[in-house]
Structure 1
């Protein structure tokens, strides 16, 4: 069905990425390309000033390694580590890279999501391609 699939993931260990990967494999054409994306929230500059540079570099490297390890669940998947607002970064990445399907996991909404909106909700509202939400 889809040839260029984006799978945004959280690397916190509490979220099940395997369900997203299974959905991506199920919806993929034989020659589909998979991209696994992790978005790190932007750290305010007044906080960054207090964090040693080697700590930031180590954190970034650990995230890249965890992303690479996670992406091995999809055949020949490429990975991308980004920084910013997750909902916005996911939608922008999809538009810039001609993604034809986004597989995004979602949690059960809490009261804060009704006022702020979850990442999945933002992606669903603003993506210009089909979005499959895994719950």
Structure 2
């Protein structure tokens, strides 16, 4: 169905990540590519002045965790870790890789983002390809 799928995962939600990764594996064409993406958000300096080592460790740990997840599930995927704003980074990767589908999870919304989570909402509004939003 899809040649290149960007699958955006959150390290804090492992069960949802497994569901999203299984969905990507079911939808990717034979010979297609799954790109697992996780974004380590920057902490504004007015909130905390984190040493660079903390960010570097978070990137390394995320890379290892997602590579292990893909290996454990026997799903071949390229793991990409970025820093910055999640929606912006996910959209950039989808553009760079010429993805034809983005799979993203969404949480139960509050009043500020009633229909979708804030990240999922931004991705749906700005993506140049199809987007599958997994609720729950």
TM-score range normalised by the length of the shorter chain: 0.7 to 0.9
- 1:71 lines up with 2:70 in the alignment: yes
TM-score (norm 1): 0.85
Compute the displacement of 1:18 (Å): 1.6
Q: TM-score, normalised by structure 2?
A: 0.85
1:14 offset after TM fit, Å?
5.8
Q: Which segments of structure 1 move beyond 6 Å, counting only runs of 4 or more?
A: none
Shift of 1:43: 2.0
- For structure 1, the residue ranges without an aligned partner over 5 or more in a row are none
Measured in 2, the distance between the counterparts of 1:74 and 1:54 equals 31
List gaps (5 residues or longer) in structure 2.
Answer: none
- 1:108-123 alignment runs, 5 A limit: 108-114=108-114, 118-123=118-123
**Which string of whole-angstrom CA distances, capped at 9 and with x for unpartnered residues, describes residues 49-75 of structure 1?**
x43444443333222211212233363
Name 1:60's counterpart in structure 2.
59
**How many pairs are equivalent?**
134
C-alpha contact 2:39 2:86 (8 A) present in aligned 1? yes
Structure 1 residues 86 and 55, CA gap change in structure 2 (3 angstroms): closer
CA RMSD of aligned residues (A): 2.3
